[in-house]
């Protein structure tokens, strides 16, 4: 009987330890970028509206690793039938704040406005069905936009956490012995 109690105690202890380790497991830089990509992919096929009315439908969206750090890209098919693409490339270490930018209540998509320290984000946009078609303009800005599905009210907090985690990983990678 005593052996059974010890075995049960050991199994409960082991299960609790495994669960705690899983909760405290940190994502790598690549896994965090993949998570952000998953969040923006949820916006594909949904309507995007502002307070002035319907703008278009998200037909493509992605978050990828880039020379600067991260690139957020999306394509909108406008109500006119034409398409436009938008790209934000930035180093997550330059993020100052992440806040919701609320679109029209009829929009199934919201945006996270990612505020940068200075004009450290490269913003490009153009016309065409996919990235790389006719670049209309590229400029340095102090923000980036991240489209996400409004249906999950916690999405903005999840995106903030992921971007903060990515920022922490990159700071540690840049100076592994610096102050936490």
- Which pLDDT score is estimated for 72? 96
Which has more pLDDT, 22 or 51? 51
- Could you read off the pLDDT of 117-151 as tens digits, one per residue? 999 999 999 886 555 556 678 899 999 999 999 88
Confirm whether 50 is domain-assigned.
yes
Confirm whether 116 is domain-assigned.
yes
Confirm whether 15 is domain-assigned.
no
What are the C-alpha distances in Å from 68 to residues 5, 20, 118, 123? Answer: 57, 35, 15, 12
Q: Give me the number of domains the chain comprises.
A: 1
Q: How confident is the model at residue 19 (pLDDT cuts 50, 70, 90)?
A: very low
Report the run of H or E that residue 172 belongs to, with start and end: helix 155-174
The whole domain housing 132 covers 28-174
- Contact 127/84 with Cβ under 8 angstroms? yes
Laid out side by side, the sheet with 53-65 consists of 47-50, 53-65, 70-78, 83-90, 121-127, 135-141
Confirm whether 98 is domain-assigned.
yes
């Amino acid at each position: 009987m005593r052996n059974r109690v010890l075995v049960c105690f050991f199994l409960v202890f082991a299960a609790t330890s495994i669960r705690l380790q899983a909760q405290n497991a940190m994502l790598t830089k690549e896994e965090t970028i993949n998570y952000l990509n998953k969040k923006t992919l949820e916006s594909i096929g949904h309507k995007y509206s502002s307070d002035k009315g319907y703008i278009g439908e998200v037909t493509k969206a992605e978050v990828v690793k880039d020379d600067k750090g991260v690139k957020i890209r999306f394509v909108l098919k406008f109500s006119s039938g034409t398409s436009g693409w938008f790209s934000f490339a930035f180093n997550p270490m330059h993020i100052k704040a992440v806040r919701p930018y609320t679109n029209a209540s009829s929009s199934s998509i919201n945006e996270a406005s990612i505020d940068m320290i200075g004009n450290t984000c490269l913003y490009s946009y153009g016309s065409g069905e996919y990235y790389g078609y006719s670049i209309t303009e590229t400029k340095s800005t102090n923000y980036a936009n991240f489209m996400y599905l409004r249906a999950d009210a916690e999405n903005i907090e999840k995106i903030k956490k992921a971007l903060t985690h990515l920022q922490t990983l990159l700071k540690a990678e840049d100076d592994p012995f610096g102050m936490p």
